Amino acid sequence: MAVVAEPTRRGRRSGPQARREARIGLLFVLPCFLLFLAFRFGPGVAGVLMSFTDYSLTGGGSFIGLDNFTRLWADPLFWQALKVTVLYTVIAVPGTLIASVSLALITRRAFRGAKFFRSVFFLPVVTSLVLAATVFVWIFSTGGPWSTLMGWFGMSEGSWLSDDVLVLPALALVGVWSRFGYGMLILLARMQDIPRELEEAALTDGAGPWQRFRYIVLPQLKPALFFLAVIETTASFQVFDAVYTMTGGGPANASYTLVFQLYDAGFKYFDLGYASAIGVALFVLTVVVAVIQRLVIGKDQ
């Protein structure tokens, strides 16, 4: 008589053996975790502590309390840099989101060459921004391609980078160009998870492209848009490499951002305490804006 063995049930282990294996696993993870804390959060904590000192590479380092922040509050250059940073963010972030959504809608459908176009649109994300900014200096120069194109529409053919009004839109265009591919990829992944039956039902009911996008696609994109809004806002607040390469903060401080002021204070004047105070102010600003975006965009998620 054949005896059929009852299949062994496999599940999670419990008891002392499981706890012992968990402790061994934590021991293996602990060195990487400590290194992550040291190099990820350590500099941030050190920067906050340094903002309360007069630390400088040329000497000093004593505790001065809130003097750096008082000095920051009274510094007109800080308010100019803050205004420039906010204006750049107001231009760049909506532009990036609009470009990301538009290209995600275009490339979501299966057509010949769709994968090729997705790769091309994502290429700016992995391109060196310093290298790209050097090319854009020529593009925006007097007599360059962009100036010539603007001349066809009756606008000035002078360099946008030397105009205190147009320099921020020019830098924002570079920022949008370098970032929209990442947003497109995130939104494209989310769009592909939207059930096609919803759009087909709306199409059957006579809904046009805009109605289908507004009432079906856009609500499904809300979590991804909130994520991208926070990421792009943080990146815009920290813009530096394109500004350093293309304008150096000019003309007349029209593109002088907070990170550029932090760089000047820390590495040009070696006032690391004051530079740290600027960094703390930038961090607080980023957190406040992220909370506002949470309340406006992601409150239901």
Task: Quote the CA–CA distance of 105 and 59 in Å, as a whole number.
Answer: 56
CA distance 216 to 165: 39
Instruction: Please report which confidence band the pLDDT of residue 70 belongs to, taking 50, 70 and 90 as the band edges.
Output: very high
Q: Find where tokens 């790209």 sit.
A: 132
pLDDT at 67 over 70: yes
Task: Write down the pLDDT at residue 299.
Answer: 59
Tokens of 283: 């961090």
In this predicted structure, what is the pLDDT of residue 226? 87
Confidence check: pLDDT of 196 > 50: yes
SS (H, E, C) 200-224: HHHHHCCCCHHHHHHHHHHHHCHHH
For residue 1, is pLDDT > 50? Answer: no
pLDDT-based confidence at residue 300 (cuts at 50, 70, 90)? low
pLDDT at position 84? 94
Predicted local confidence at residue 168, as pLDDT = 92
C-alpha closest to that of 240 among 226, 254, 257: 257
Give me the pLDDT at residue 236, please. Answer: 92
119 vs 174, more confident? 174
Which of 283, 277, 165 has its CA nearest to residue 233?
283
Pick from 284, 100, 250, 258: nearest CA to 175: 100
Give the pLDDT mean for 21-44: 86
Provide the Cα torsion 63, 48, 277, 172; round to 10°.
Answer: 170
Is pLDDT at 265 greater than 70 in this prediction? yes
Give how far Cα 78 sits from Cα of 61, 73, 257, 262, Å: 23, 8, 9, 10
Whole-number pLDDT of residue 14: 59
The burial of 54, by beta-carbon neighbours within 10 Å (0-12 exposed, 13-18 middle, 19 or more buried), is given as middle
Query: Is residue 129 packed enough to be buried (19+ CB in 10 Å), middle (13-18) or exposed (0-12)?
Result: buried
What's the confidence (pLDDT) of residue 8? Answer: 46
Q: What is the pTM of this model?
A: 0.84
> What pLDDT score does 90 carry?
93
For residue 108, the model assigns a pLDDT of 81
State how far Cα 183 lies from the chain centre: 10
Q: Residue 115 has which token pair?
A: 């994968």
Average pLDDT, rounded, for the chain: 85
Q: Is the pLDDT of residue 219 over 60?
A: yes
Segment among 116-120, 226-230, 254-258 with least mean pLDDT: 116-120
Q: How far is CA 55 from CA 13, 47, 48, 154, 252, in A?
A: 54, 11, 12, 53, 29
CA distance 228 to 236: 12
Is the pLDDT at 220 greater than 60, yes or no? yes
pLDDT of residue 144: 82
284-299 pLDDT, tens digit each = 999 998 888 888 765 5
